Amino acid sequence: MPTTVRSHAKINLGLGIGAPRPDGFHALTTVYQTLEVHDLVTVTARPAGMSAIWLTSNDGRVPTDGRNTAWKMVELALKALGISAEVEIHIEKRLPVQGGLGAGSANAVAALVALEAELGIRSDRGSLPPYEQKTLVGWGTRRGSGGRWLEMAAEVGSDVPLFLIGGAVLGVDRGQEVYPLPDFEPVWCVVATPAVGVSTPQAFRDWDALCASEGLTATASADKLKMLSRAYAMAFAGAIPGGGREDGSSGVLSMGEDLAGPQESALVRTGISRWIQNDFERVVFSQHPSLREIKRLLAASGSPEAAIHASLSGSGSALFGLYLTRGDAEAAQNRVKAAGVESVLTRTLPRADYWGNMLVQKAS
Contacts of 76 (CB under 8 A, 6+ apart): 152, 155, 156
Catalytic residue status for 362: no
Q: What are phi and psi of 255, to 5 degrees?
A: -65, -15
- 159 has catalytic annotation: yes
**Helix (H/G/I), strand (E/B), else coil: 96:** coil
Q: Which amino acid is at 11?
A: I
Within 10 A of 84 (CB to CB), how many other CB atoms are there? 13
Helix (H) or strand (E) holding 12: strand 3-20
Q: Give, for 170, the enclosing helix (H) or strand (E).
A: strand 168-172
As a whole number of Å, the end-to-end CA separation of the chain is 6
CA-CA distance, 172 to 175, in Å (whole number)? 5
Cα 315 from Cα 202, distance rounded (Å): 10
* Helical H segments across the chain, by residue range: 69-81, 103-119, 147-156, 200-214, 218-239, 266-269, 281-287, 289-299, 326-338, 351-356
Q: Which candidate in 10, 72, 224, 295 is catalytic?
A: 10
Task: Give me the phi and psi of 57, to 5 degrees please.
Answer: -155, 155
| CB 108, CB 63: distance < 8 Å | no
A 10 A CB-CB count for 123 gives 11
Query: Which one of 39, 59, 93, 159 is the catalytic residue?
Result: 159
CA-nearest of 280, 278, 279 to 202 is 280
Rounded to whole angstroms, the Cα distance separating 174 from 181 reads: 18
Residues that are catalytic: 10, 159
